Amino acid sequence: MKTTGVMIPTLLGRISKKPVTVLYPFEKLEVPPGFRGKIKFHLDKCIGCGMCAKDCVSAACIMIEKDDKKRPIFDMDKCTFCGQCEESCPKDAIEMTEEYELAHLNRGEVIVE
């Protein structure tokens, strides 16, 4: 067939190249610079201003009161990983980490506080 003749050089060329896929989860790719994964919250830096919750695009970040202090909590099920809360925080209390393995069975299980 005509297409087979066209495909053979392409296939042979691919055999000598390194695969572009990896055997996840046994092997993992490095995430690119600026990747926005699971949020890490630094309570010690937080002043309870509420800017993160105010600017959150999906209501994933809400303010609560705990131990007489206002502080945010983050529901990773609602988070769109936009990074706006990290941008808005005046105290660098929010960090978007490189962690991307967030699969879980039930909603609301991954709350960052």
**Smallest distance, Å, CB 24 to ligand SF4?**
24
Q: Work out whether 64 is an interface residue with ligand SF4 (CB under 6 A).
A: no
Cβ(112)–Cβ(38) below 8 Å: yes
Here the tokens at position 87 are 């941008």
Among 20, 26, 40, 79, binds ligand SF4 (CB under 6 A): 79
Among 8, 22, 31, 47, binds ligand SF4 (CB under 6 A): 47
Cβ(46)–Cβ(72) below 8 Å: yes
Q: Work out whether 84 is an interface residue with ligand SF4 (CB under 6 A).
A: yes
- Judged by beta carbon, residue 15 or residue 36, the one nearer ligand SF4 is 36
Binding site for ligand SF4 (CB under 6 A): 46-52, 56-58, 60-61, 72, 74, 79-85, 88-89, 91, 93-94
